[in-house]
Structure formats: C-alpha cells, structure tokens
C-alpha cells in the first residue's frame, strides 16, 4: 500500500442526514471500519450525524453511537475532512456543502435535485478550493454510472445514453405489463410496497428522471445541462391499453431518460436531453429490466453498446455508492491528488427535443371500411414520414375491415391501426398526426409513442 502504510491519523467523516440512506451509511461506516481503513490507508472516523431533531426515534444500527447525533450541522461540518450529504432538498444542503468545501473538506452527495438545479456552483467552489466533490449516488443509486462515464469513457465519445433511472415508474410500468393492471392500481401497489411516495408526482411526472438525465448529460457530453434544459413527459397518460398494444407489437413501455448528441437541420451540433415514455423492442437489453431495477444503456463511438444495471434506490444500495465515493475522497487525502473536475469544455448548445429524430408508433381508431389505410398512408407520405409497418390487429379487425377482407360492405364499426414509422423529426410527426386527426374516417388518435433503442 506504499504511502498508505505510513501511520496516518483518522479522517473525520461528517454525515448530514440520517434517513433511509443516512442510517445505512452510518451502519456501513462503523461495521466495516476495519476494511475501510485497510482500503483507504487510514481509519475513517464518523465524528457526527446532523439531524433536525436529535431526540426523535430513529432506527440506527447497534454499531452506531447515538451520541453522534447532533442538531448543529454547521458545527459538525467545521470539524470534518469529508462531508457526506444525504439530507436531500436544496437548502440547507447547498449552504452546508459550500461551507464544507470552503473549509477544505471533500464532499460526497446523493442530492440529484441540488446537482441538477445548481451543480455548477458546487463544482466551481470545489474546483477553487481544490477539493473533491463526488456524487455517484445521485444517479441510479448503487449502479456505478457516474464514475464510468466520467473516467472509464473519458477517452471515448458518447453518442447516446438511454436510461431507466427511476425505479418507481419502472415498477409501475412493469406491473402494468405483467398483470394488465391500470396505471392507478399499479401506483397504489407501488405505494403499498414503499416504492412510491404518497405524492408520486416527482416520479410519475418524470421530474426525478429529468434531474438524473441532466447530470448524466453534463458528464457524458462535457457540457452544462440543467433541469430546465430537459424536455419532460411523465407516464400518467400511459394506459393498460397502451401497454397491451406495446406487447402485441413486440415492445415494452419504459420511462427513458435520453441524452444524445444531435445535429440539427442547420448542421449545428448540440445535445438533446429528454425524459418520456417510449416503446423499447423486447430484444433490447433495457426491455428486460424488471421491477424497481434501474439500468443505463450507453452508446459510445469506440466502446459500442454498454449497459449498467442494478438497484437505483433504497438505503443500502445508495449507501454503497456513497461509501465508494467516500473511499475515493479519503484515498486522495492519504495519497494526494483529487478526482476529475467538472468538464464543460465542449459548451454545447441544448437543442430542443423536437430536433431529435426517432421512430414513432401511432395508434388510431378509424371507421372500419376500405380505403382508410390508403388515406392515412397518403398523409404520411405527403409529410415525408416513412412507414415501417402498419398493423391492423386481428382482434380489432371487424369483418370487411380494409386490407383484411377488402370488401366494402358498408360496415361502420371501429377498426384499429397501429402505424410504426421510420425515424422522423418530432415536428414532422406532429404535423402528420394533426393532418391524420382531421381525416373524415379517423375517429381518434389513440396514442403517439416514441420507439427507442431499435
């Protein structure tokens, strides 16, 4: 262990927050202290745990000395070499982290909301102070994705990231797919199991995923992306029918966080970052990500396709990621050096999500009579949107339905069309959908979903 074998005093670790994640961090820090000391080259001493109410009952592992609990977060920060922030929210987390950084402490945070809103302030402060800031736990919980993107892929060019980075929505969509239940029922089940909050908005509306998308996009493309740069659409409009039709066409619906390098019509290069539900082909590695698991699929020029899979939330998994960062920061205290700084040299423009070119699946309810498919196809052609496939599923095909039987028997039942397009720009697709919607035999545009990962 070289330099690390020299006698080295303990490194003082402060923990801000003692909820689901914090209590696990405290447990691991104390239960694994011998291993951690060997790996770091110095003991890690937990010197305090800042909480709002030190007298409140809380489940702490026996290995954790309860006298470490304190309500004086500022005082605690002032006497630490490494500050771990797992309290969440913007303030006082931001102020405490800035104070820690200014005092020369390394900081480790799991706070995706803070990083997506105001990461650059923290990165700049850490840069100025010459200290480490690590945040592996802020994206996809236990899954090592921040470090691989920042370091392992530092010699490559990332083209695109497709991530299932919100376990709640993946659980909900997976339950809908495997049982046929409704969105509302699946959310209630997720709440009963503790996978969803009483107010599930942050998850189901895609805010949580958007924060992670902003962080990942910044790292992957060496540019600044903040929460408001992310186009966002949640899963609240996904119906049991959507899920069933997806299965029938060989797909599964996932809420994806997408960050990709794009070139718009004017030839200018930029980044598109968006969160929305999408159809993922069953053969794609992301399609097999079940339950509350997360996975991040990365396409890079040289590396090709990579995927990182694991638990995206929960006390112990998130604590694992936090502790990995703590060891990195601590090793730097012992051996010298520091981790990579924020890299924003590329300074790429954020292009609107409408720049992104994807495949679409459009479902229509139409009058069940001949000629409708031809009319719809004509609209697509006139808008320059190329059709990959049109399905007129047999369950819905009433006798005499177009292109199935071909005879005009005057039936006016309802038929369903499922159109999958080749890659098209969002604007072209939107114009196409508008034009189809006003065709006389079209009763309803039932759904329009992007197809990703093909």
Binding-site residue positions = 16-23, 112, 197
Residues placed in the known binding site for NADPH: 112
Q: Is the dihedral of CA 110, 113, 116, 121 positive or negative?
A: negative
Nearer to a copy of itself, 238 or 286 (CB): 286
Contact yes or no for 165/112 (Cβ under 8 A): no
**Nearest C-alpha neighbor of 82 from the set 44, 120, 32:** 44
Q: Does 162 bind a copy of itself (CB under 8 A)?
A: no
Q: Does 454 bind a copy of itself (CB under 8 A)?
A: no
Span interacting with a copy of itself, options 24-32, 226-234, 239-247, 362-370, rule CB under 8 A: 24-32
The Cα 113–Cα 107 span in angstroms is 16
Site map for a copy of itself, 249-288, x if CB under 8 A?
Answer: ------------------------------------x--x
Q: Of the candidates 43, 88, 92, 144, which one interacts with a copy of itself according to CB under 8 A?
A: 144
Which CB contacts under 8 angstroms, 24+ apart, belong to 430-437? 430/354, 431/383, 432/379, 432/380, 432/383, 432/385, 433/362, 435/379, 435/382, 435/383, 436/362, 436/364, 436/376, 436/379, 436/380
Q: Of the candidates 258, 327, 385, 451, which one interacts with a copy of itself according to CB under 8 A?
A: 327
Q: Does 441 bind a copy of itself (CB under 8 A)?
A: no
Closest approach, Cβ 85 to a copy of itself, in A, equals: 16
Q: Does 119 bind a copy of itself (CB under 8 A)?
A: no
Q: Is the dihedral of CA 125, 128, 133, 139 positive or negative?
A: positive
Identified catalytic residue from 212, 254, 338, 383: 212
Span interacting with a copy of itself, options 61-69, 136-144, 226-234, 400-408, rule CB under 8 A: 136-144
Distance from first CA to last CA of the chain, Å, rounded?
47
Span interacting with a copy of itself, options 161-169, 183-191, 241-249, 312-320, rule CB under 8 A: 312-320
Q: How big is the site for a copy of itself, counted in residues (CB under 8 A)?
A: 66
Q: Does 59 bind a copy of itself (CB under 8 A)?
A: no
Q: Of the candidates 274, 276, 331, 359, which one interacts with a copy of itself according to CB under 8 A?
A: 331
The Cα 136–Cα 21 span in angstroms is 14
Closest approach, Cβ 354 to a copy of itself, in A, equals: 28
Q: Does 303 bind a copy of itself (CB under 8 A)?
A: yes
Q: Does 112 bind a copy of itself (CB under 8 A)?
A: no
Is 383 part of the annotated catalytic residue set? no
Nearer to a copy of itself, 284 or 363 (CB): 284
The Cα 258–Cα 220 span in angstroms is 11
**Nearest C-alpha neighbor of 418 from the set 440, 435, 434, 395:** 395
The DSSP symbol for 230 reads S
Question: Residue 283 half-sphere exposure, CB side, CA atoms within 13 Å?
Answer: 2
Which tokens go with 128?
């100025």
């Amino acid at each position: 262990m070289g330099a690390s074998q020299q006698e080295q005093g303990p490194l003082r670790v402060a923990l801000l927050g003692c909820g689901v994640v914090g209590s696990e961090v405290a447990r691991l820090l104390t239960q694994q202290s011998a291993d951690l000391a060997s790996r770091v080259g110095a003991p890690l001493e937990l010197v305090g745990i800042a909480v709002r109410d030190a007298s409140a009952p809380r489940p702490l592992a026996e290995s954790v000395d309860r006298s470490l609990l304190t309500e004086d977060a500022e005082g605690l920060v002032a006497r630490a070499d490494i500050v771990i922030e797992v309290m969440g929210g913007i303030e006082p987390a931001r102020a405490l982290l800035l104070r820690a950084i200014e005092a020369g402490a390394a900081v480790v945070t799991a706070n995706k909301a803070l990083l997506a809103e105001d990461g650059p302030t923290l990165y700049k402060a850490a840069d100025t102070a010459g200290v480490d800031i690590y945040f592996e736990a802020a994206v996809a919980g236990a899954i090592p994705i921040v470090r691989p993107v920042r370091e392992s892929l530092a010699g490559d060019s990332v083209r695109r990231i497709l991530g299932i980075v919100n376990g709640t929505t993946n659980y909900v969509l997976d339950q809908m797919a495997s049982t046929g239940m409704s969105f509302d029922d699946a959310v209630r089940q997720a709440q009963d199991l503790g996978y969803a909050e009483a107010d599930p908005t942050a998850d189901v509306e895609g805010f949580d995923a958007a924060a992670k998308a902003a962080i990942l996009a910044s790292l992957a493309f060496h540019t600044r992306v903040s929460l408001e740069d992310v186009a966002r659409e949640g899963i609240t409009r996904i119906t049991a029918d959507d899920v069933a039709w997806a299965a029938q066409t060989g797909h599964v619906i996932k809420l994806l966080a997408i960050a990709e390098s794009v070139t718009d019509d004017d030839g200018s290069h930029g980044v598109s970052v968006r969160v929305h539900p999408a159809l993922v082909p069953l053969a794609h590695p992301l399609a097999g990500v079940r339950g509350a698991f997360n996975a991040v699929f990365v396409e890079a020029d040289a590396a090709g396709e990579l995927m990182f899979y694991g638990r995206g939330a929960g006390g112990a998994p998130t604590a694992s990621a936090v502790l990995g960062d703590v060891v990195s920061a601590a090793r730097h205290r012992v051996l010298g050096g520091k981790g990579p700084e924020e890299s924003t040299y590329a300074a790429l423009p954020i292009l609107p999500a409408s720049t992104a070119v994807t495949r679409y699946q459009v479902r229509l309810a139409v009058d069940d009579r001949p000629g409708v498919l031809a009319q719809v196809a004509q609209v697509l052609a006139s808008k320059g949107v190329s059709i990959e496939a049109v399905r007129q599923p047999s369950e819905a095909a009433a006798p005499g339905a177009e292109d199935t039987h071909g005879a005009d028997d005057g039936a006016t039942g309802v038929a369903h069309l499922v159109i999958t397009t080749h890659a098209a720009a969002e604007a072209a697709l939107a114009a196409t959908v508008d034009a189809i919607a006003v065709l006389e035999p079209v009763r309803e545009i039932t759904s329009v979903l992007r197809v990703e990962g093909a």
